[in-house]
Structure 1
Amino acid sequence: MGQTLTMSALYKKLTTFGLNKKYIREYGLPSWWDDELNDKPFAVLEGAGYIADNFNIDLKSLLTPGEEVKFNTLPLPKFKQHNSKNKEHPHLAQTLASRVAELISYGSNIEYKNLANDAQMIREEILSNHKTVSLESLLDYCWSKGIAVGYFNNFPKKIKKFAGLIQWQETFPVIILSAKHTHRAKFTFDLAHELGHLALGHLEKGVLVDEEIEFNSNDNEEQQANEFAVQLLLDKYDNHLGKHKFQNAERLTRYVCKILIPKLPNIQPDAIILNYGWHNKNCFRQAMAALNILEVSTDGQKLINKYLADNLDWDMFSDETYEYLEKALGV
């Protein structure tokens, strides 16, 4: 084993799964790792342990020459695709995110409370403590109900990714959001969509992976989760702007904030704008530009992980796991 157990051999073996050397070095190995250790079998053995632990890999398969690398056993995922003809699923991204979900659950001291299956009831519960259903108030609600929420998108390049994931741990679910967008409005909808899956009983154990969250999905459960999210965020004001046209994003923003919001004080302006863009595809870019005009609209992923960092018991983790989570989550 001493002749074959080198870090270069492990890098080569893992490359076939899309885990390139740069990614392994940054996220798989601790910061104290030195390349002078790459050809020292006992050090490589320790390094392999960190890689296996961080990436959910079966250590024996990683160390055995000629054996294919295997990931640790996970519940069979329930993939949700916008295009059912596309048979490729984000297996590697899901595996890496599932490990992050496991670690989040390990550091979370929360108890899951059953959700109402009615979006209006949940909306009223949130509004009893907050002015609107925003990303902040929705995060508050999830954590208060024993639902851990995190953002994770630090994947190797060139692998298929996903928008959202729900993973049941032993006693509570973990939601991982992973889309590349940054607008709070989009993350609010994504989180409301995943909450809809839980409230409507679409996942009672295992893992559900939303490969995309699209407004016009042809999947029945996706449609139900979308309808749940729309009612949760907008009450009865879905498509409130109808086919109304605006000269530019500034006028759209001004109309929503100055004319509509005074009449709809419990609705977020960015929710109305995003909803308008989804109902009017030819105006989607205008709606996105309007979201950019609104202040505090482009830090959604940071806000999600700020809540996560504040709710985790970091003392539960080893130094190396603590370091991995800090890098992986960007906190």
Structure 2
Amino acid sequence: MENNQLSVKYQTDAQFQPPAPASDEIDLRELFSALWKGKWIIIATTFLFAVAGVLYALSLPNIYKADALLAPAESSGGGLSKMASQFGGLASLAGVSLGGGEASQTDLAAEVIKSRQFVNAFIAKHELMVPLMASKGWNLSKNELIYDDEIYNVETNTWLREPKGLRGSEPSEQEMYEAFLKEVLSVGSDKKSGFYTLSIKHYSPYLAKQWTDWLIEDINKVMRERTIKETTQNLVYLENQLEKTAIADMQTSFYSLIEEQTKNLMLAEVQDEFVFKVIDRAVVPELKAEPKRALICILAALIGGVLGVLIAFANDAYRKNSRKLGTEF
């Protein structure tokens, strides 16, 4: 009797023992099994994405990039930066700005070249609207731009775009500015050396080089004209103030300021490279800068492979759940 009671007790205890905790470890065999079962899905997805990546990369036109290395010109700021330390207080009282030196002048020019007023004037001056907004490629054998027939009719010189909101069929100045700044122009600087890099990207390597030269020429001209105008106004003001004062020390200071302003005016009128000096002039690029077709194909294949693996795992999980539900019912 006692043995029977003990056996019943042991059986009862065994029935109520808690289940063993499930293992959190990933079964590599199951993963490899799922990958092997879905190998054709992975291969097919990777292949399709790779082919799509190749076709997309081949459909993109070549873009060429022309670079020019620039240095601050010694005349940008000229003697004004030297006079600022000696007569800064007097000049401020007289209402004359002596500037902040060469670095401030070149930094100002680098910002002016990216301004709406300068870019729009540059596009209008050189008639860049059509090659900027309507081109979609470049014909190497004919050295001609390829224009988008859906946007612009070359024979009639008319724009075919559908107006959207405030933007008409012909590109507005705001559109051209945004396109030029985002897709074409790039201005970089090296704070250590003080050099600047001006870059232009376009379908035509010849236009990229030409636009780079035009930009350097125009920014020097604009900054030179601005300095001539400001210096002329300063000279007129200083001469008027000189006539009004009878103090000898003040007259001496005014004469020094007038002398420096006159020197700066002469330099601005003579030097073509007023703000930027060209260290390395732009050349016609022989090799494309964009697109990176090999990188596009590799990324497309990787995306397809990852997607194929995810589909294989999802398919395997769906089969297992279907089997479980079938056995339960």
- TM-score in terms of structure 2 length: 0.25
Structure index of larger Rg:
2
Name whichever structure is richer in strand by fraction: 2
- TM-score in terms of structure 1 length: 0.25
